[in-house]
Structure 1
Amino acid sequence: MQSSASSSSPTKFFYGWVVVLVTFVALLISAGIRSMPSILMVPFETEFGWERSGISGVISVGIFLYGLVGPFSAALLAKFGVRRMMVAALAVLAGSLALTPLMTHLWQYQLLWGVVSGFATGMIANVLGVTVASRWFVQRRGLVVGILTASAATGQLLFLPLLAHITVNQGWRYAIYTAVGVVLVLLIVVAIFMRNHPYDVGSAAYGTEEVVKPEPFRGSIFLTPLLTLRDALRSKTFWLLAGTFFFCGFSTNGLIGTHLIAACGDHGIEEVTAAGLLAFMGIFDLVGTTMSGWLTDRFDSRKLLFWYYGLRGLSLIFLPYALDATPAMLVVFSIFYGLDWIATVPPTVKLAAQTFGKERAGMVFGWVVVFHQIGASTAAYGAGLVRQISGTYTTAFVTAGFICLIASLMALRISKNASALQAKA
């Protein structure tokens, strides 16, 4: 069913920008909560006597499930609607947070943060941003993907100083209570202002002139993502995107997002100060990833990925020196690394859409994100184990740097003119 309407009238406000704003805030807050275990690591060691590797294992499971739910979240968003699934995920997240202060054993932490929180935050992650951008925008889609991706990455870092301050001065339980309150407020905002599709407000997607009723989701919530993966596995481009994203996750939220605060503690830097460095990265990530979206609309995505991964690798190799040098060197690292934190997402999304088509891009990218989170999960646990054995994070940081250099070369091997796979009806 189609009807003619203008989406570009200068007197008509495009509601898609409200949807982008709500999604931006949701991704920001969800990612911020997902990053909280990095400031809880030392307090949990002190209060419960848990080992660093055990706590890292919980974080590792949460990161993995956060990614694994991505392809299925794309199907759930299509089947039940964006607003309904966001409200459900936020309600589950608030519940897991509210129960956290009652835990006394490591298995309870694993259940609440490794499993429940992992699934809930996975519903409010990058696949949500890609879904919103694909539905509401034809023009400026790369820019919107960049903005929403930046919010997710920035959220991992931006709230850490506040939460670290609360943790140090009032205790970790008060930081959890603060997070519960924020999630409940966000749930209300989403329920009131979120919309599923431009058709719901009688609008066309940005850059088009026709109001188009969305096709109902006809596949299986669980089987369709698996069939999409089966088809994607036949593509060399998918393997290269998945491989580079594995290294992306290994070198960002799995390593730096999880362990930088603890690594700074090893060098006598206070927790609040270290969290401030991560927040500083988050501010520059917002700039860098948004700019990456703008660049992705204009330049070869393969070459952008080459530079992003290469520069990130050099910054990680530099990090051990920065930790041993003056505080100014850590600030330099924070700026340089922050600009590149997750700038890889917009070009990766574009390459997935070019290869597999717009209709399948969300699910294919969801599977690529699974590999990202496997890499992050590997680094979250592996770096903690390396630190426990060797007493230092230097080996983990340098290894991640060289892995990123390998990823930069892999990006150039992605086919420039990959044709879209044909979806089976």
Structure 2
Amino acid sequence: MTSETALPNTDSARNSAPRFHRAWAVAIVTFLALVGAAAFRAAPSVLIDPLHDDFGWSRATISASVSVNLILYGLTAPFAAALMERFGIRKVVTAALVLISLGSGLTIFMTSSWQLILLWGVFVGLGTGSMALAFVATVVDRWFVGKRGLVTGILTAGGAAGQLVFLPVLAKLAEVYDWKSVAFTVAFAALAVVPFVLLFLRNYPSDVGTTPYGAPADYVAPAVHVNGRGGAAGRALSVLSKAARTKVFWLLAITFAICGASTNGLVGTHFVPAAHDHGMPVTTAASLLAVVGIFDIVGTIASGWFTDRMDSRKLLAFYYLFRGISLLFLPLLLANTVHPPMLAFVIFYGLDWVATVPPTVALCRKHFGADAPIVFGWVLASHQIGAGVVAFLAGLVRDQIGSYNAAFLVAGGLCGIAAVLSLMIAARPKPELSESSI
């Protein structure tokens, strides 16, 4: 059972209208934290071959650690959202960054594959999962009433683009020095963000005597859930129990699982080694993924803008359909050099990389109301399960048949299915889901 207490809401806070709203400072720090966490999530693409060469571990074994990381990243998200309700955003994010730094730094001393799975998979998976997109949903829901779709797009782009933009830097470090320099750099990047989180991140607008950005004059802060029996875990599981009884939850979960499979799990993890199989230098392939990240910023921010104005279901169908088409062409485009059709793929795919996030968050908010951040955490868990399964299977396919082509083709077909399922989501929420909370 849970109890509720209302957040304080003062007239002075409501009447104040600073030129620079504190919500934007919180958004900037959130952006930096997401970029810091993204550094380690960029590492797998450039370390699969170096770890294989250094330790002799199979690509399937190395991919297994990536799978553990991706799955824990997703499964941690809903519990982290509940922990943020109980202990506050600042404490959870600080602990997550320290855990990422610890997990990355200790990999320098590993000698066995189980240590890779423990540190790279478990430690960093838990840390990055605590700063997953459910973190974005929580910050946006608390600090913004206006421009929610746009801010969601910007923060999402920051995390995803940061992951890809780090790639050329990490690839160069691995090439000039070794993979240990990559692990050290990531550990430092995560730890460097901690002071900014401690200084500037706050849990609620009321903590600094203001209201969310874009709040109307008669704004009343929503009730805050105080974890009762079962604590944060009980809260997260109770939300899942309620949401799982609805069709819309499963449609969102399945489509987002396909999203994860076709981005983080496949392209994010295996594009660099797949291009290297065709003779392309690792640094060149990593640079192409960095370009994906640059266009992802444009695409995801635009998606947030469109989400504020258009039917999120139709946006999702469009994104999944064209992502699937691009993946079907990818096996034909891989070569030892960069050519115009490959650049066209990189631009097109980059615009679509995580454009699915703003409309998915919006649909969670529309159908599940106050429970939306935790519901989205569970939807994100499905995203990462899809990513983790495909990260492992694609590595296994490469070991068995010597090519990634089959994995790219299957992912393209799955995206077509996701497009159809997106249109099956109900246009209007059931009142008992959107207006009540657990």
TM-score by length of 1: 0.97
Letter in 1 for 2:331: P
For 2:345, which of 322, 333, 337 is the aligned residue?
Answer: 333
In the TM superposition, 1:47-62 aligns within 5 A as 47-62=54-69
Distance 1:267 1:8 in 2: 62
Aligned residue in 1 for 2:206: 199
SS of the residue corresponding to residue 96 of structure 1 reads: helix
Q: 1:217 aligns with which of 218, 226, 235?
A: 226
| The one of 44, 47, 53 aligned to 2:51 | 44
Residues 117 and 11 (structure 1 numbering): CA distance in 2 closer, same or farther, change over 3 Å?
closer
- 1:271 maps to 2:282: yes
Give the drift of 1:423. 4.0
Q: Deviation of residue 13 (structure 1)?
A: 2.3
Q: Does 1:101 align with 2:104?
A: no
Partner letter of residue 294 of structure 2?
Answer: I
Match in the other structure for 1:349: 361
Structure 1 position 390 matched with structure 2 position 401 = yes
Deviation larger for 346-355 or 214-223? 214-223
The aligned residue for residue 409 of structure 1 is 420
Contact 2:371 2:437 (8 Å CA) reproduced: no
User: Cα offset for 1:338?
Assistant: 0.3
Q: Distance in 1 between matches of 2:393 and 2:436?
A: 38
More deviation, 383-392/170-179: 170-179
List runs of 5+ in structure 1 lacking aligned partners: none
The 4+ residue runs of structure 1 with deviation greater than 6 A are: none
Change (3 A) 1:269 1:6: same
Separation (CA, whole Å) in 2 of partners of 1:336 and 1:280: 11
- Deviation, 1:218, is 2.9
| Counterpart mapping for 1:24-423 below 5 A | 24-208=31-215, 209=217, 210=219, 212=221, 215=224, 217-219=226-228, 220-324=231-335, 327-357=339-369, 359-420=370-431, 421=433, 423=436
Amino acid at match of 1:257: G
Deviations 1:204-228, CA, capped at 9 Å, x for gaps: 1111235749635234211111111
* Structure 1 residue 327: Cα displacement: 2.2
Q: Percent identity?
A: 47
| Deviating more after overlay: 204-213 vs 31-40 | 204-213
Task: Tell me: CA distance 1:7–1:155, structure 2 relative to 1, closer, same or farther (3 Å).
Answer: farther
2 CA distance for matches of 1:10 and 1:287?
30
Match for 1:413: what amino acid?
Answer: M
Deviation at 1:191, TM superposition (A): 1.1
Report SS of the residue matched to 2:264.
coil
SS at match of 2:224: coil
Shift in Å at residue 6 of structure 1?
5.5
Inter-partner Cα distance in structure 1 for 2:297 and 2:222: 33
The answer on whether the counterparts of 2:161 and 2:293 sit within 8 Å (CA) in structure 1 is yes
Change (3 A) 1:216 1:246: closer
Report the 3-state secondary structure (helix = DSSP H, G, I; strand = E; otherwise coil) of the residue aligned with 1:180: helix
TM norm structure 2:
0.94
1:153 deviates by: 1.2
Shift of 1:192: 1.3
Q: Match of 1:118, as an amino acid?
A: G
Cα pair 1:2 1:213 within 8 Å, conserved: no
Instruction: Give the Cα–Cα distance (whole angstroms) in 2 for the partners of residues 6 and 329 of structure 1.
Output: 54
Q: Secondary structure at the match of 1:215?
A: strand
Could you say what secondary structure the match of 1:104 adopts? coil
Q: Tell me, in whole angstroms, the C-alpha distance in 2 between the residues paired with 1:68 and 1:239.
A: 16
What residue ranges of structure 2 are gaps of 5+ in the alignment? 1-7
| Aligned residues of 2:70 and 2:388 also touching (Cα < 8 A) | yes
Task: State whether residues 205 and 211 of structure 1, in contact with CA within 8 Å, keep that contact through their aligned partners in structure 2.
Answer: no
